[in-house]
Structure formats: C-alpha cells, structure tokens
Amino acid sequence: MIVKIEKLDHQGRGIAYLDKPIFIDNALIDEMVDIDIINEYKKYMIGKVNNYVKVSDKRVKPICKYFGICGGCKLMHMSYDDQLVYKKNKVREIMNKFFSSNVKINDTISSTNLFYRNKATFKVNQVIGYFKSKSNDIVKIDKCMIVDDRINEVLNDLQKMNIDTDEVMVRCGNDIMNTYNDNKDILIDIDDYHFNVSPNSFFQVNSFLVGKLYNKVVTYLDLNKEDRVLDLYCGVGSIGIYLSKYCKYVYGVEINESAICNANKNKVINDIDNIDFKCLDAKDIDDLNYNVNKVVVDPPRNGLNKKTIDYLNKNNFDKIVYVSCDPVTLARDLKLLADKYSVLEITPFDMFPHTYHVECVCVLNLR
C-alpha cells in the first residue's frame, strides 16, 4: 500500500496514518512510500518500505553502508542541520506532552566532529559487529563511521582473531583500551583537564562536545566562591572537577566503586583540593547531611528515583542543573520538582550525531 509520511516520532521513524498510526523506519516527512505491514498491534502498526514513490528533497545519502541494517544510526538519511532541528523539536514535543508548554528550548548545540565516539562495544558470535535493528543477530562490521578511527584499527585487528567472549569494548583517549587484550585505565583529556577512566566507569562518548556541555553547567549554576555544590551521580568526577575552580567546595556522590576510584585519582591528577567523593547510592544522599546550596544531577537514562526527588524538594536549593540523556524521564522529574522549582530553560546537546538520542542540560531555580 502507498502512504504519506505526516511526521516523525521520537525514534526518528516516519508516521503515516490509516485507521491507526503506522511507524516506518527510513522515511521522511512528505514522502510517499509503498509499504508492507510487518506487525500489527492494538493501537499501532509497523511498516517496512518497499520503494519510494515520492522522495523528500531533504533526504541525503547515508555515509554508512550498514545504515538500515545495524541498529545504531537512525537519522543518517537526514542532513546534519535537519538532525539538529529534529532534536530541538523532539525535546519541545516531549516537554509539551509530559511537563509544560512554557519551557524555553534553545537550539541544539552541534557536535564539532561527526566521527565522535570514543567508545564502542562490539558484539561477538562467530562474527564481530553490532546487533541488527530490533534483533540479537549480529551484522559484521568492517568500519563504523561514527567512531574514532583508532577504534576501527582495533576492530580490524579483532576481526583477525578467534575471540572467545560475547563482546569487546574499545575506548580511546590519550591511549586506547580494549577489554579483550587488557583492562588498563586510560586518560581522556577534556579542555585543560585529564580524566582517568576505567572500563566499568561511565564517561561521555563524545569527547568533542563534552567540554561545551560542562561549561553550560557552570554557566547555569551561576557559581561564586561561597557556593557549595553537590554533584549527584558524579561518575569519574568530571563535572565536579570542572565546577571546583568556580566555587568553595564540591561534594561528589556515585554508586559505582570503580568510578569513585577514578574520581579520587582525577582529583589528584588535576590538583584539586576543594572536592570530596563518596561511594553511595543517590537515594541515600540524606544520610550524608551535606551543607550545600546548589546541585547538579546527571542520572542514568531512567532518571531520578523518588527518594532523590524528595531530597531535592525538601532542601530548597538555590539552583539545580539537571543533565539528562532521556527527555522523557527529564520531563517526568521536572513535573515532580515543579512545586518547589521553576524551570528556566533547556539546552539540547547533540552528543550522539546520526542517532535519535539527545542530551539536555536544564536549569531550575528555587521558587
């Protein structure tokens, strides 16, 4: 059947409508596509393109031969400028739906490099590559177009080996680590800072844009030398270390032991003496009784838990800066904080070019 694409969903899929929505990969607004229905559910259907009857003038040729096969880069058929607009609109639509239509959404901050990833996790089962879209089957990858070229060099070496593990993670900074040959920590430089990162520790995958994101956190917190800042979900301490020269003291809290070990090394490496790190679940933050007046939170994709929300609401902090990798859980949490804090604005950052994912930095003031 032939359908017209009316809009894009938040996973970058085209949406057409019959008696209910049809979600279609690799389709752009205003395109006419001949599709088959491959799955039908109570409230929606999934379609697959057979051919394009009318092609959008905004469509571009993907730079990767695995586009549409690998489950990663869902937006590579869009120009980069259009990707940035899509992500701003995505954040706005999610805020309108789940939180408020009155939030200011800034333009998406672009990545300075589209070969941006400092980390890749390759799946292994006779071949080495990535999972196919919506599948646990593996597509063999010769070269990934969005990673640092040094990772592709390691991938080329791995393809010649008999790998006896399910996956191999490769991460690069000043050096390069792969978890099949070694588990040594590496250093990643961001602006004037140096960060020790271990295999099990989280670190932003886009080294080219993370400095701008951290500087936006600094700006939003509006720090002075009397401020004491809590850095919740601090990871290897990177945000807190950025903040430390602008305020009196920083307290970092993180549940991952290896990340806290990295954070304490990073405190020494960067010669920071006004920061303290504790290994603790964020939901138990009340136990520490910190005397702070500003907070930055950078939780995992599932957002803040109820105890953390309660802690933020009862302590009347001057400012909260929320760094989020999922606008849906961000909107949910902002709604739970809205009685005590007003949301001033949100700035999207394109930490993940060619994918539908977007990072947000949001600033809240005490009412």
- Give the catalytic positions in this structure: 325
- Look-up of token digits 């697959």: 48
Residue 138 is given by DSSP the state E
Edge-to-edge order in the sheet of strand 127-131: 138-140, 127-131, 119-125, 167-172, 176-178
61: its two tokens = 């040729």
Dihedrals phi, psi of 260, to nearest 5 degrees: -65, -35
Answer left, alpha or beta for residue 222, where phi above 0 means left and psi between -120 and 50 means alpha.
Answer: left
User: CB pairs under 8 A, 24+ apart, for 10-16?
Assistant: 10/90, 10/93, 10/94, 10/328, 10/356, 11/74, 11/356, 12/74, 12/75, 12/86, 12/355, 12/356, 13/74, 16/47
293: its two tokens = 């007046």
The CB density around residue 140, as the number of other CB atoms within 10 Å, is 11
Strand 294-297 to 359-366 pairing: unpaired
Q: How far apart are CA 276 and CA 272, in angstroms?
A: 10
CB 356 within 8 A of CB 90: yes
Q: Which residues contact 222 (CB under 8 A, 6 or more apart)?
A: 319
CB 190 within 8 A of CB 171: no
CB 221 within 8 A of CB 228: no
95: its two tokens = 């805020």
Tally the C-alpha atoms within 13 A of residue 38's C-alpha that lie toward its C-beta. 11
What is the Cα gyration radius of the chain? 22
